Structure 1
C-alpha cells in the first residue's frame, strides 16, 4: 500500500481522486492548498504526490521544488485543467514525473502510478527553462503530443544532436525552436538552413562560408551558417534532400563540430547544437543507398517523431482557437466564433497537409470573412466533398426507403435503446461523436428535453 498525497483546491476533484486511490489499494491523504500539503508531507512523507498546477494562493508549479526537496523525495504527478506547452515544460524542468490533464482519465492515472510506484526512478530529471509565450500551434490534449513536450523538456539541457521526423506540416521547425528556447543556448542565435531550397553549388558556402576569391563572384569573405550559429542552434531543415557530396561534407561538422570555409585550409570549430529535420523515412533512404548510414546515426542521437494531425484529433479544437487568436491579430481579423459544424467537419477530415494546412485554411477564412463566425461556407469545396455524405437518393419505384431513411431509423433506434446516451450509441454504431452529432443534425434527431449526455 502506497501513501499518495493529493493536493488540489477543487474539493470535488480531490475527493474523487481520494476514493479512486483507496479503491485501487493506495493510502490517500488530501490537502486543499500547497502549504497544507507540504505540512502533511513533512509529518508523514508520501511516496507520490498528485499536485494541481493552478490553485488559490501558492501554485503547484511554485511548490513543486519544495515537494521534490523532501527526503525521501516523492514522485510528483502534476494535474491541470489547462493545456499549454509552457507549463508542461516548466513542470518537467522542476522535477515532475508526469503531467495529466483534467478531467482525469483514471486509466492514464493508474498507468502513471503503476509505472512510478513500481520502479525506481532518479530523483532528478533534466531541467528545462520555461518557454515564454510558446508557439501557439504547440498546444496539446493528445497523449502523443504530451510525450513530445515531455521529451523536449528532457533533452533540452544537453547538447545532443536531435533528428525531428514527421510528415510535412507537422511543426518540425516549431519543435526545433522549442528545444532551442528551453536549452542552455536559448540566448544564442537560432539559424536555419533549408537544405532543399539552396542549390547544391551554393549550399556548401551557405553552411560553411567562403574566403575572398573562393569562386567567381566571391568578392569578400563571408561567414557561413555554422559560424553564425556559434553559441546557439543550427537547424538543418529537409536534411533528406541533401546530395551525397554535401552529406560527406556535413558528416565532419556533425561528428567533430569542425569545418573549413570554401577557399580556406584553416579549420573552424563550432559549439552550435545541431537539430535536423526531414519528412522522409531516412532509414529507407539509407537502405536504398540515398543517404549516408554514418551521417544518419550521427544525426539521430535523439529522434523525435511528430504525429500527423489526423492522429491527434483531440488537439484540433485547441489548435483552431489558438491559431485564430494569432491570425486575427496579425491580419486585423474579426472572427470571434466558430460553428460547431466546422469543428465536426475538421474532426472527420484527414488533413494531408497537417497543421500547416489548417493554418492556411484559417488564414484564408479570416481574409475572406464577411462576418464574425467561422461557418461551413468558409471551408473549401474539396474538403466538404471529402467529409460530408452525398445527397440521399430518392425513394425507388419499389417503394423502398432510401439509405438516408435507413440511417435515420437505425440511429434513432440505437439512441432510444441507450436512453439517448451518445457515448453508448457511438460505441454500438462504431462511429465518432462528431459524426453522430452530424447525423443527428441532418436528420433532426433531438433527444427528449434536448439535454446533453
Structure 2
C-alpha cells in the first residue's frame, strides 16, 4: 500500500487528508513540524510528500531541501496560501512536483496525488532487461525481443532522442522506463505524459506552463513539465495525437532547449531528454498534414519497434507464467500453473490488445480459478468465442498433406505464418513420434535428434502432454 506523508501544522488539514483518503488504497501519515516530518520521512519512506510552506519551526523549503538531499526523485507537493504562491513556483523550478492553494479543492488534490504516485512508481520501480532478476521486466526470448533489448542497451547511456513504435498495449512505456533506468539521467526526474489523454486546450499549458491571465481560467502562473523536469527525462506517449501548435513548440525545444510559457515573453532554458512513443503511422500522419515532418526527423534519433504479442507466440507461455507469479502476490492467491491446453490456446489467440489485454484476461481468469490450475473452463467467453485463429490452427493440424496446410495458411488473414507452420508441423510430428514410442521421452528424443530438455520444453510450449498424446497414463519412470 503506497504511503503519503502530510506535513502541515493545521490539524484540520491533516484530518481532511485522512478522511478523504480513508477509503482509498493509500496509507496517510501526518506531522505538524519540519523535525517531526523529517523523522517520519526517514522511518516510513513514503512514496509522496505533501508539505506546507509555512511551518512552526521554519520554512517548508528547508524540509524540501533535506528531502531532496536524501531522495532526489521524490515527488513533493507544496501547500501554499495565496500570498506565498511565488515561493511555491520557485520550489517547482527546483524540482517540486506541484503545489496546492488553500483552501484545498480535494477533487484537484486527488488528481495531483494520482499523478504523483504514478510518477513515484515510474521512477522507483526499475524496468529492466531480461538478464536480471527484476520486479518488473521485459519478458521474452524471441529474436525480436532480444534485438529490441540490445538496442535499448546501446542507446540508454547515449543522450539521444528515442522514438518507440508499436501497437497499443505492447509495453512502450516499459521500454521507455528501461531506457531511463539505464541512462545517465537515472538519478533525475522521469515524467510520463499521455498526449492523447490531455484536451487540446490544456496540452501546451501542461508541457510548457503558462503565465497568469494567459487564457480564461489562468488565475495563477503554472510551471510546465519541461521546466519541472530539468536535467531529467520526459516520456511523451501517443505523440502522434499531439496538436500541431504544441508540436511546433516541442520542435523548438529539441532544437534550442528553450521555450516560453503560454502568455509569457521570458525565454526559459531547460535540459531534458525526450523519449516519445506512438501507435500511429507518423509518415501517414505527415502526408495527411497532421504531424510535422521536421519534428518526426528530430524525434527519430533512434527508433525502437516493439513487436505485437501475436508476432512472438513463443514468448506467450513465459509471459503467462510471469504474470501468474505477479498476480499471485498481488491478489494473494496460490495458483500453481496452467493446463497445457490453455497455454496452447493462448499461443493461437491473436491478442488484439497485446500484453495489456493479456494482463486483464489473466487477472479475471485467476479470480475465477478455484483449483491449483487455470483450466479452459475459466477463460472468458469473449476470448473463447473470438479465438478464430486457434480454431483455424486446429483445423490445419488435422488437415491433409503439407501443401494443403501451406495453402490454407497463405490464404488465411493471419501474418507471421512461418512460425505458425513450424508449430503445426512440430505438433503433428511430436504426436506421432510419442505415439510410436508409447510416450518414452528418451526414445522420442533420440528419434527426433533432440535432447530431452529441449523436447520437454517444446512439448510444454506447444501445450502437449504425453498423457494426452498417447491417450493413457505414462509410467513416470520412463520420463
TM-score normalised per structure 1: 0.60
Q: Distance in 1 between matches of 2:205 and 2:322?
A: 39
Please tell me whether residue 245 in structure 1 is matched to residue 245 in structure 2. Answer: yes
**Equivalent pair of 2:214/2:262 in contact (CA under 8 Å):** yes
Q: Distance in 1 between matches of 2:321 and 2:281?
A: 32
Q: Distance in 2 between matches of 1:254 and 1:437?
A: 49
- Structure 2 SS opposite 1:196: helix
Deviation at 1:355, TM superposition (A): 0.7
Q: Distance in 2 between matches of 1:315 and 1:405?
A: 26
Deviation at 1:188, TM superposition (A): 1.0
Residue 155 of structure 1: aligned partner: 155
**Equivalent pair of 1:208/1:260 in contact (CA under 8 Å):** yes
Moved more, 376-385 or 138-147: 376-385
Residue 358 of structure 2: aligned partner: 358
Q: Distance in 2 between matches of 1:252 and 1:321?
A: 45
Alpha carbons of structure 1 residues 417 and 317: separation in structure 2 relative to 1, 3 Å = closer
Deviation at 1:443, TM superposition (A): 7.5
Please tell me whether residue 179 in structure 1 is matched to residue 179 in structure 2. Answer: yes
Question: Matches of residues 33-182 of structure 1 in structure 2 within 5 Å?
Answer: 85-86=128-129, 88=131, 133=134, 135-136=136-137, 138-182=138-182
> What RMSD over aligned residues (CA atoms) do the two structures have, in Å?
3.6
Greater share of helix: 2
Q: Distance in 2 between matches of 1:440 and 1:165?
A: 41
Alpha carbons of structure 1 residues 145 and 334: separation in structure 2 relative to 1, 3 Å = same
Q: Distance in 2 between matches of 1:243 and 1:377?
A: 46
Residue 127 of structure 1: aligned partner: none
**Equivalent pair of 2:467/2:473 in contact (CA under 8 Å):** no
- Which runs of no fewer than 5 residues in structure 2 stay unpaired? 1-126, 402-427, 450-457
Please tell me whether residue 259 in structure 1 is matched to residue 273 in structure 2. Answer: no
- Structure 2 SS opposite 1:192: strand
**Alpha-carbon displacement from aligned partner over 1:5-24 (angstroms, at most 9, x marks no partner):** xxxxxxxxxxxxxxxxxxxx
Q: Distance in 1 between matches of 2:166 and 2:149?
A: 15
Residue 320 of structure 1: aligned partner: 320
Residue 275 of structure 1: aligned partner: 275
Q: Distance in 1 between matches of 2:354 and 2:333?
A: 23
Q: Distance in 2 between matches of 1:282 and 1:190?
A: 25
Question: Matches of residues 9-20 of structure 1 in structure 2 within 5 Å?
Answer: none
Q: Distance in 1 between matches of 2:338 and 2:430?
A: 28
Q: Distance in 2 between matches of 1:172 and 1:210?
A: 30
Deviation at 1:436, TM superposition (A): 6.9
Deviation at 1:227, TM superposition (A): 1.4
Deviation at 1:405, TM superposition (A): 11
Residue 454 of structure 2: aligned partner: none
**Equivalent pair of 2:130/2:139 in contact (CA under 8 Å):** no
- Structure 2 SS opposite 1:168: coil
Residue 213 of structure 1: aligned partner: 213
Alpha carbons of structure 1 residues 436 and 237: separation in structure 2 relative to 1, 3 Å = closer
Deviation at 1:217, TM superposition (A): 1.7
Q: Distance in 1 between matches of 2:360 and 2:246?
A: 33
Deviation at 1:333, TM superposition (A): 2.7
**Equivalent pair of 2:434/2:469 in contact (CA under 8 Å):** no
Residue 226 of structure 2: aligned partner: 226
**Equivalent pair of 1:260/1:268 in contact (CA under 8 Å):** yes
Deviation at 1:360, TM superposition (A): 0.8
Question: Matches of residues 329-340 of structure 1 in structure 2 within 5 Å?
Answer: 329-340=329-340
Deviation at 1:134, TM superposition (A): 5.3
**Alpha-carbon displacement from aligned partner over 1:180-232 (angstroms, at most 9, x marks no partner):** 00001101111111111100001100110111222222221111111122121
- Which runs of no fewer than 5 residues in structure 1 stay unpaired? 1-83, 90-131, 393-402, 426-431
Q: Distance in 1 between matches of 2:327 and 2:309?
A: 19
Alpha carbons of structure 1 residues 263 and 433: separation in structure 2 relative to 1, 3 Å = same
Q: Distance in 2 between matches of 1:255 and 1:276?
A: 16
Deviation at 1:330, TM superposition (A): 2.1
Residue 34 of structure 1: aligned partner: none
Deviation at 1:241, TM superposition (A): 0.9
- Structure 1 SS opposite 2:188: coil
Please tell me whether residue 193 in structure 1 is matched to residue 163 in structure 2. Answer: no
TM-score normalised per structure 2: 0.57
**Equivalent pair of 1:167/1:279 in contact (CA under 8 Å):** yes
Q: Distance in 2 between matches of 1:316 and 1:296?
A: 33
Alpha carbons of structure 1 residues 369 and 87: separation in structure 2 relative to 1, 3 Å = closer
- Structure 1 SS opposite 2:355: helix
Q: What is the total number of aligned residue pairs between the two structures?
A: 310
Q: Distance in 2 between matches of 1:404 and 1:86?
A: 39
Deviation at 1:340, TM superposition (A): 1.8
Deviation at 1:372, TM superposition (A): 3.3
Alpha carbons of structure 1 residues 256 and 443: separation in structure 2 relative to 1, 3 Å = same
Q: Distance in 2 between matches of 1:290 and 1:451?
A: 66
**Equivalent pair of 2:238/2:276 in contact (CA under 8 Å):** yes
Alpha carbons of structure 1 residues 436 and 185: separation in structure 2 relative to 1, 3 Å = closer
Alpha carbons of structure 1 residues 445 and 158: separation in structure 2 relative to 1, 3 Å = same
Deviation at 1:373, TM superposition (A): 2.2
Question: Matches of residues 364-383 of structure 1 in structure 2 within 5 Å?
Answer: 364-383=364-383
**Equivalent pair of 1:348/1:435 in contact (CA under 8 Å):** no
Deviation at 1:389, TM superposition (A): 4.0
Q: Distance in 2 between matches of 1:451 and 1:175?
A: 45
